[in-house]
Structure 1
Amino acid sequence: MRKSRHKNKSRSSIFPIKVDELQDLLESKFENNPDLIFTIYEHQQKKVAIFFIAYQVQSDKLEEFLLQPLLNKKEEWTNKSLLNEIPLSTGATKDNLEDILEKLLIGEVFVYPEGEKETVSFLLLKKEKRQLARAETESLVLGPKVAFTESLVTNLNLVRWGIRSTDLVLEEIKVGKITPREVRIVYMKSIANESDVNTMRQRIQDLNVDTIEDNTVLMQYIEDSQITIFPQFYSTELPDRFCYTVTSGKVGVLMEGSPNGFIGPTTLFSFFESTEDIYMRWNAGSFFRILRFVAMVLSVLLTPLYVAAVTYHYELIPTPELITLGQSRAAVPFPPLLEALILEFMIELLREAGARLPTKVGQTMGIVGGIVIGQAAVEAGLTSSILIIVIGISALASFTSPSYLMGTTVRVIRFPMIILAGLFGIIGIMLGICFLIIHLLRITSLGRPYLTPLYPFMWKDFNKALFRLPLNLQSNRAFLLRPKDATRYKRKESTKKKDIDE
């Protein structure tokens, strides 16, 4: 049987070595870890060592494909005979201690006939993974519901299933010194801009860290700015969204052990797009996308406007409503600023408690807790009923963003805006808005402006950011990405209709 013979160049070879000495060396490196299995066999007066990490290896395949053929072998055991006769296609030779220690931890089994200048390894990794399930953080009504898992192999299969093209590139990079993890850069070779691909690759390769816990952590390491609260890459657990953006010309990243992928470059408007906008009619898709933008503005400004109006600008409130508001606030001992901050803090406590509790208990806690605490606060005179409505609308509006990261950003921004409104009124709100706009103008994602297509102004990309047009009018990819191939299809040919008798 023909075998692959991948050989690592020696940096500091430890072979040939006595089997007993090899055992002592490995046990000292693993601090006498009981999971290190080191077994010595003797055949024709020649010792052979087999060593591996117990929980990392598939025991059934180890027994069937390695141990049985090995023990039934009558000829002398050598590296050449092992590679040729063991029915496993992952055979390789190694002579470097660092490589051996690293490969032991990822499920390789080593066989060393005493006296050889190298040891032979076979990959028999036991992979633990959960079954495919519905997305938890990105709920959809239309379209595929399956989500990524912690298995990189499964995630790559989902991407391959979504993009069945030889043009798809899955570039491999190792990240982490103590715990190396496999990272894949995903892009379309004939579409993605080379500058974006090179930037993403260079930033990941330049990382000199001990370990990366998750893809969202990797995302923070390579962002253009780590100070801003705004996310600069879109993190998603939906393979269909990942595939759609990759075929649009963006660059995606998947990592071993992470149930999320992230995509770049992105703009502010990317975080209010949903794949449902594509699956439904363009009219409805445009309406809901605009609705999310309006909801974001409401979530940020509604409570600050209430605080500013009640504190400084009574003339903004209609007279009938002003009377109702005065009656509602008559028993409230706190100024509007403190009142709003207390209620917002209570809402965030309920939201965080609901997220950390088990699903069924968390849902009940959020609904019942909000109703009970809100009603009790009004009856106790701690707040007005009108502010309860304002806070409730602001909280609901923050949930409309398809991106959890952007929803969190909106929630945090609301607090300094409330403080500015309480201190300086409408002038404070305008100061906050100006600061936000200036800050957003300075943000970039992989070097691309964050407010595109508003700045720099690209009117041709408005139908891909702010609203949707019918599919037959979207023949080009987004110009802001500067893709190699900007044309998705030729409009005249693809939309030409013929009668059946033509």
Structure 2
Amino acid sequence: MRKNRFIKKDNIFPITIKDLEELLNSKFENNPDLTISKFEKKGKKALIFYIDYQVEGTMVEEYLYAPLLEKDIEWNNSTILNEIPLSRGRTLQSLNEILSDLLIGGVFIYVEGEDSVIGYLLLKKEKRSLEQSETESVVLGPKIGFTESLVTNLNIIRWTIRSKDLVLESFLVGELEPREVRIIYLKSVANETDINTMKQRISELEIDVVDDSSVLMQYLEDSTSTIFPQFLTTELPDRFSYSINRGRIGVLVEDSPTALIAPTTFFSFFESTEDLYMSWNVGTILRALRFISFILSTIMTPLYVAAVTFHYEIIPIPLLINLGQSRAEVPFTPIVEVLVLEFMIELLRESGARLPTKIGQTIGIVGGVVVGTAAVEAGITSNVLIIFVALSALASFSTPNYLMGTAARAIRFPMIILGGFLGMIGLAFGLCFLVIHLLKIKSLGRPYLSPVYPLRLQDFNKVLFRLPPQFENKRFKSYRPKELIRYSREKAKQKKDIDE
């Protein structure tokens, strides 16, 4: 029940009980869900009003009706606020503010003759229970995911980050439908400039509705013309907490299970919290595998098109013979063949994602086998290309972040066209354009390709590979945290037996 910055002052109090009742009914078009109760005691009249399905009915009966009617208390704002056993009670004068809070679970008491109403937030909490995240699967580590309840999500954050320096600042965004947004960071670690930038971008938003945190992200990003995500999204509290502890800023939105993290870099999208739960050398291998998979998913089929169309000399002779035999019956040029097959793969992927889980898995497996086999037998495509396209699709799935995986899928099509028309020169041009584009992107004002550009060798172990824990005593310098040192490196190295 925080103040909406878009609402203008329109004090209508004091007002008679009858006039207030008529005004409320006119504003809500005589909605039957608007509950209005009138009472009179010792010559004083009072009105309690709320939307029935939005509030906890038992709390209204026990903590509002009972004290007002059964206790011998004087009916005025100051006495009621002191006697009602509920916290966060406040007085309001603006009609628009009252109407706005009614829609989010507000219960109001008006005593005739007073210059304001008393409001409490008794929102009915009908949210799903804590469950495993479906969009981010992990093998090691906590598996609990965020829910649509902001209160629940904040409790989870408090459980995982037990620090007195944790700050949770609240904003209301949306003129037509105000929605609470929380900025979360460690005051002693997060960079002050990043905090102020995030606050400014959120507080200056003038939009009617924020449907989800992913929608809010599009308003907050530095560039709206790039396909690369500039904020990290996650449903895993442990990944969120990991980022906050390293000096980044988190954002939670009411009614959204997805958290935002900024600033971030291009390399952050290939990190997984599982890397921390494994030994440092295994984590390094898996992280390298994800980088290689992203590159392969972007250039594998374009490289096939360029080689088959212009550069036969780079293909080994035995493979070239097999390739020529498999393409002998194909009536299309390599670029058309690849585009058709890639389009079919994307159709299978999207249809599998939109169908119910069990049916979607069946469609993905059976559809891929059936379509691939039928395409080869019909002479539409070669069996060698089926292997390349399948490997490219599998490589794109290895990216931990869905948005970055989608970006790789989108990049692939223009790269195929460039390879089909200009060969290796076209691929080189496309890759150079891609690198230049990445160099221009920023996340909350920070370079997107850091620590590669600008070059900071001391941060390489944070993104490209891992070191043993005793060498991970510094935070990511590129984010410019207030406190760079996490713990003493010398003490972390010490290992003592029980008899020493």
Q: Same fold (TM over 0.5)?
A: yes
Map of 1:399 onto structure 2: 397
Among 387, 402, 423, which residue is 1:389 paired with? 387
The TM-score, its normalising length taken from structure 2, stands at 0.96
How far off is 1:454 after superposition?
1.1
**CA displacement 1:76-122 (0-9 Å, x = unmatched):** 53323322332223332222212211221121211212222222222
Over the aligned positions, Cα root-mean-square deviation in angstroms equals 1.6
Distance 1:230 1:485 in 2: 29
Map of 2:238 onto structure 1: 240
Map of 2:333 onto structure 1: 335
Distance 1:272 1:287 in 2: 12
Contact map agreement 1:325 1:386 (CA 8 A) in 2: yes
Among 98, 109, 112, which residue is 1:111 paired with? 109
The answer on 1:19 being equivalent to 2:17 is: yes
Contact map agreement 1:443 1:449 (CA 8 A) in 2: yes
How far off is 1:191 after superposition?
0.7
* Aligned residues between the structures: 496
Q: Given residue 238 of structure 1, which amino acid in structure 2 is its aligned partner?
A: L
Contact map agreement 1:10 1:95 (CA 8 A) in 2: no
How far off is 1:271 after superposition?
0.5
Among 62, 66, 78, which residue is 1:80 paired with? 78
How far off is 1:274 after superposition?
0.4
Aligned residue runs from structure 1 range 165-244, under 5 A:
165-244=163-242
Map of 2:479 onto structure 1: 481
Map of 1:273 onto structure 2: 271
Distance 1:28 1:500 in 2: 77
Contact map agreement 2:174 2:207 (CA 8 A) in 1: yes
Distance 2:81 2:451 in 1: 58
Give 3-state SS (helix, strand or coil) of 1:263's partner: strand
Give 3-state SS (helix, strand or coil) of 2:301's partner: helix
Map of 1:465 onto structure 2: 463
**CA displacement 1:282-323 (0-9 Å, x = unmatched):** 111000000000001110111011111111111111111111
How far off is 1:498 after superposition?
3.0
Which consecutive residues of structure 1, in runs of 5 or more, have no partner in the other structure?
1-5
Distance 1:366 1:75 in 2: 68
Distance 1:76 1:189 in 2: 45
The answer on 1:37 being equivalent to 2:35 is: yes
Distance 2:331 2:270 in 1: 39
Distance 1:12 1:372 in 2: 66
The answer on 1:133 being equivalent to 2:131 is: yes
The TM-score, its normalising length taken from structure 1, stands at 0.96
Aligned residue runs from structure 1 range 293-332, under 5 A:
293-332=291-330
Give 3-state SS (helix, strand or coil) of 2:216's partner: helix
**CA displacement 1:434-464 (0-9 Å, x = unmatched):** 1001101111111111111111111111111
Contact map agreement 1:337 1:418 (CA 8 A) in 2: yes
Q: Given residue 17 of structure 2, which amino acid in structure 1 is its aligned partner?
A: V
Among 55, 62, 65, which residue is 2:63 paired with? 65
Among 341, 344, 363, which residue is 1:346 paired with? 344
Give 3-state SS (helix, strand or coil) of 1:49's partner: strand
Q: Given residue 103 of structure 2, which amino acid in structure 1 is its aligned partner?
A: L
Give 3-state SS (helix, strand or coil) of 2:257's partner: coil
Map of 1:3 onto structure 2: none
Aligned residue runs from structure 1 range 88-107, under 5 A:
88-107=86-105
The 1:192/1:13 distance shift into structure 2, 3 A limit, reads same
Q: Given residue 298 of structure 1, which amino acid in structure 2 is its aligned partner?
A: L
Map of 2:281 onto structure 1: 283
How far off is 1:386 after superposition?
0.4
Q: Percent identity?
A: 62
Contact map agreement 2:326 2:382 (CA 8 A) in 1: yes
Give 3-state SS (helix, strand or coil) of 1:200's partner: helix
Distance 1:133 1:268 in 2: 29
How far off is 1:36 after superposition?
1.1
How far off is 1:72 after superposition?
2.1
Map of 2:447 onto structure 1: 449
How far off is 1:75 after superposition?
5.5
Contact map agreement 1:449 1:455 (CA 8 A) in 2: yes
**CA displacement 1:19-70 (0-9 Å, x = unmatched):** 1111111111122222111122233343321111111111111112211222
The 1:448/1:378 distance shift into structure 2, 3 A limit, reads same
Map of 1:142 onto structure 2: 140
Q: Given residue 286 of structure 1, which amino acid in structure 2 is its aligned partner?
A: T
How far off is 1:390 after superposition?
0.2
Contact map agreement 1:94 1:120 (CA 8 A) in 2: yes
Aligned residue runs from structure 1 range 371-386, under 5 A:
371-386=369-384
The 1:10/1:82 distance shift into structure 2, 3 A limit, reads farther
How far off is 1:166 after superposition?
0.3
Q: Where does structure 1 differ by over 6 angstroms across 4 or more consecutive aligned residues?
A: none
Contact map agreement 2:8 2:96 (CA 8 A) in 1: no
How far off is 1:175 after superposition?
0.9
Give 3-state SS (helix, strand or coil) of 2:169's partner: strand
Which consecutive residues of structure 2, in runs of 5 or more, have no partner in the other structure?
none
Q: Given residue 346 of structure 2, which amino acid in structure 1 is its aligned partner?
A: E
Contact map agreement 1:197 1:251 (CA 8 A) in 2: yes
Give 3-state SS (helix, strand or coil) of 1:425's partner: helix
Contact map agreement 1:135 1:147 (CA 8 A) in 2: yes
Distance 2:85 2:456 in 1: 59
**CA displacement 1:369-409 (0-9 Å, x = unmatched):** 00001101111111000000000000000000000000000
The answer on 1:410 being equivalent to 2:408 is: yes
Distance 2:58 2:411 in 1: 55
Distance 1:431 1:377 in 2: 32
Distance 2:83 2:198 in 1: 43
Distance 1:180 1:75 in 2: 35
Give 3-state SS (helix, strand or coil) of 1:177's partner: coil
Contact map agreement 1:354 1:365 (CA 8 A) in 2: yes
Give 3-state SS (helix, strand or coil) of 1:396's partner: helix
How far off is 1:173 after superposition?
1.2
Map of 1:47 onto structure 2: 45
How far off is 1:74 after superposition?
4.8
Give 3-state SS (helix, strand or coil) of 1:334's partner: coil
**CA displacement 1:404-445 (0-9 Å, x = unmatched):** 000000001000000111111111111100100110111111
